Structure formats: structure tokens, C-alpha cells
Structure 1
Amino acid sequence: MDNPIRLHWLDPKDPAQPFPSPGRALRDPDGLLAIGGDLSTARLLRAYREGIFPWFNPDEPILWWSPDPRTVLPTGRMHVSRSLRRAVRRADYAIRFNTAPDAVMAACAAPREPGQGTWLGLQMRRAYRSLFDAGAMKTVEVWRAGTLVGGVYGVAIGRMFYGESMFSTVDNASKIALFWLCRFMAAQRMPLLDCQVGSDHLASLGAEGMPRAQFIEMVQRLVNEAPPDWTEPADAPAAAEHLPAC
């Protein structure tokens, strides 16, 4: 009889404890690798550098994942529909980087449907705010008439970006944020946006599956490259004037 597969338990008092190899992750549920630990900045940065991310509900222990295949969006190949291209060219918005991390996370944490919960609990939001303060969490925000209407946030290490969540309160706002994030990344020689787990929505935007071993090989190279300058956002309205006509 085969030995049962056992998950690796992480000691919450030892943030320097190594993660197991992603190759030891479960197939069902796909990618579940370890349980426990903490969400300290040091542990989170090490996890992302190794192709691992936390994902759990607020009433669960911390769960760590590395699925195979990994869903990624090549930044130079985002699919832009005719409606999205029109929305981008309309330029009735401003794009800002890293000005409202708490507001972006709060909006991402809001239930999508009445009565639904959220995986982005207070513990996670505090952890990513600490990453922001350390310079590793980034936001791309869509503002209209002084109001935050959409955005995306994630973790940036070197020339790698790990998307965490996005939101929209008006049509196309999250897609506009993703569009300008991909434009920025492509211009900064950042070829890969990690989307973690696939969905029909992500596939419609150009996301695709990548074998975990290939993903981790790319990550190990990209996280060690010099990071770009995230302090100046793209001038979206001016740049939009030069997009091809729909």
C-alpha cells in the first residue's frame, strides 16, 4: 500500500524555515504545498521568489500553493477586444501607480455577490500592506473624476510581477488597469504577469497555462534582475491617443 501524501507544516515562529520543493505539491487540490507559518514580509518574499503564494479563507489556516500548470499572461500578448480598445482610447480616466494601496485592497476584498465572503481577509490585507511599505507590493489604479473606479494589485520582485486581485466599479475599469500594467511591463522588459490560477475571464484576456517547472525557471531569472522604476505611471490619456484605431 502506498504511503499517504503528507502536507508540509510550517512553523509560525520560524519565518526563515524553507519551503518544500514545489514539485511536492498535491495534484488534488492542484498545487497545495504547505500549511501554516505566518505572513511575515520575509516569508512572503521568499515564497514568491520560489513560485509559491498564499491563498486561504479567513477562517482557515494559511495555505501555500504552487499549481501545475501555472496561469500566466505574457505582457506583450494581452488580448484587447474592440470594446476595451474603445474604452482605453476614450481616455476619460487617469492612471496612477501606488497611491491608494489600502483602498485598492478594500475594493478587491468586497464580495462580488450579496452574501458571499472573501478570501482577502484582514490578515492578508495587513500582510500586503507591509509588503507595500517594503516596496514589494504595487497597485495600478484607474481614477475618474477623482474617484477610484478600478485597479489591480500584486507583488513585484526584480522584473517579475505576481498579480493578486483586481476590481472594477464601472465597466472595463479593471481591464483598463490590466492593459496599462501590461503596457508598462512590456516596456520595462517584464515579460510575464503571474495570474496564479486560470479562469475563463483570464483566458479571454490572453492568459495561458505554463508548466510549473518552466514557470519557476523563468521566475528564478526574473526576480534577480534589476527592478524597473515604478514611481512614474504611464501617461494613459496621452499614450492612448497613439493606439491604433478600432
Structure 2
Amino acid sequence: MSVPFPPVEPPSSEWALGHVRPSAGEDLVAAGADLEPGTLLMAYRAGLFPMGLGDHGARPIGWWSPEPRGVLVPGGFRERRSLKKARARFEIRVDTAFADVMARCADPEREGRWITDEIIAAYTGLHRLGWAHSVETWRDGSLVGGLYGIAIGGLFAGESMFHSERDASKVALAGLVDIVHADGDPRRLIDVQWATEHLARLGVQEWPRERYLAALGEALQAPAVQFG
């Protein structure tokens, strides 16, 4: 499926998530609303993202703004020698298997799963409009790793990643870095939500929420990242 560029702006949301301000020390900002394209884009532009509060991500929808926030900035990615060697084993593709990447990220066998059928439908809709993208790792014609997220201006908000072969998700992240930071614009930002020890080894930093929100405003003003 061809992904439109520039993305198609959907109707605005009836909700006011963009005006909700988080409480100090709280990651959860609000609950409820819907997953319409306009609602999702409004939320990301305000530094929020959805994750259900019920079992395995079921409703009600929670809207989150982590404190601190995991971010990857231009020049911050740490590509060790082993990862450079691993790149040679895989082929990077973009937006050729978005639905498959989401399905693999939503695998019910995964610990801590939270991606519901409703989430899949919502982000697939954003993909059709040109806002959601997948970066995929392939080997011998098989999808073996990948990630997906939302691109708005110079922001890429990563949502989830998977791998079925060693290093496949790290190579997908390296491919994402190549795309987002291709033009060297210092305002560009990759948001990973919550930093993990694994991501920290790759250069992800933890920022106070207010610093993230200030940088988000700058990133949204940067030229749109071009995928494909």
C-alpha cells in the first residue's frame, strides 16, 4: 500500500486532551476519550500516548506522559561494532509490512502485551493517512524484526518493536535513526516513552518531562521526516 506524503490531516477531535496537564510524579494523565485519528494526533502533539488500563491493554484508554521520558537525539545513537556487523545480515524495508509488524508486536504470547485489536485498527488507520510507519528487518525474504510508531514533523514517537532473530530489532532501530536523523536537523527527536537498560546502552537518555515537552514543540516545527 502506498503511504501518502505529506500525511492527510484528519478531522479534529471532540476531546480536549491537548489541554490536560500532568500532575507532578504521575505518568498517567487522563482516561477515556477515543482512538480516532484526530484524537491520536492531538495527543501526540501534546506529549501523550494511549495505553489501555484494563487487562492486556483493554479499555478504559489511559493517556500517558512519562516522568522521566526516554528520548534519542541526533548523534546520540551508540552503534557498537557488533551492531554494525549485524546490519549486514539483514535488509531494511519501510512501510512494506505495517500490519504484520503490529501483529507481531501484539503477539499474545509476549509478556506485558498491551496492543489490542482496537489499537491495531486505530494505528492502521493512521498508517493509511500517512502518519504511522514501520521500519522492518528482513532476512531471506522473511520478516524477522521491526518497529512502528507515529511521525509528526521532526518527531518519531516509537510505540513497539519485536524480533524473532537476534539483533533484528536493534537493526530496525538503527534504520530508524538513519531515516529520522538523515538531514542532521538538531530539532529531530525519537521518543521511546520509557527508557530501559537495553535502550540506554543504545544511547537513549532520560529527560525530565518539562524538558521533553519543550523539545517536542521544537521537533514538531521541523520539516516532516520522509519515509520510503
Q: What is the CA deviation profile of residues 196-215 of structure 1, one whole-angstrom value per residue up to 9, with x for unaligned ones?
A: 11211111111111121121
8 Å Cα contact 1:129/1:137 also seen in 2: yes
* Alignment partner, residue 189 of structure 2: 192
Runs of 5+ unmatched residues, structure 1: 1-13, 232-246
Q: What is the CA deviation profile of residues 146-175 of structure 1, one whole-angstrom value per residue up to 9, with x for unaligned ones?
A: 100111110000111001011111010000
Sequence identity percentage: 39
Superposition map of 1:172-191 within 5 A: 172-188=167-183, 189=185, 191=188
* Alignment partner, residue 44 of structure 1: 40
Cα gap change, 1:20 to 1:219, in 2 (>3 Å): closer
Q: For 2:34 and 2:24, locate their aligned partners in 1 and report how far apart those are by CA, in whole Å.
A: 21
Which runs of 4 or more aligned residues in structure 1 lie more than 6 Å from their structure 2 counterparts after TM superposition? none
Cα gap change, 1:22 to 1:216, in 2 (>3 Å): farther
Q: For 1:40 and 1:173, locate their aligned partners in 2 and report how far apart those are by CA, in whole Å.
A: 31
Cα gap change, 1:110 to 1:26, in 2 (>3 Å): farther
* Alignment partner, residue 23 of structure 2: 25
Match of 2:113 among 80, 96, 118: 118
Q: For 2:66 and 2:189, locate their aligned partners in 1 and report how far apart those are by CA, in whole Å.
A: 16
Q: TM-score, normalised by structure 1?
A: 0.80
* Alignment partner, residue 99 of structure 2: 102
Q: In terms of Rg, which structure is larger?
A: 1
* CA shift for structure 1 position 194: 0.1
In terms of mean alpha carbon deviation, does 130-139 or 67-76 score higher?
67-76
Q: Which amino acid aligns with 1:204?
A: R
- Three-state SS of the structure 1 residue aligned to 2:17 is coil
Q: For 2:28 and 2:18, locate their aligned partners in 1 and report how far apart those are by CA, in whole Å.
A: 11
Q: For 1:171 and 1:220, locate their aligned partners in 2 and report how far apart those are by CA, in whole Å.
A: 36
In terms of mean alpha carbon deviation, does 71-80 or 45-54 score higher?
71-80
Runs of 5+ unmatched residues, structure 2: 1-11
**Count of matched residue positions in the alignment of Structure 1 and Structure 2:** 212
Q: TM-score, normalised by structure 2?
A: 0.86
Q: Which amino acid aligns with 1:73?
A: L
Cα gap change, 1:75 to 1:109, in 2 (>3 Å): farther
* Alignment partner, residue 202 of structure 1: 199
Q: Which amino acid aligns with 2:32?
A: G
Cα gap change, 1:194 to 1:137, in 2 (>3 Å): same
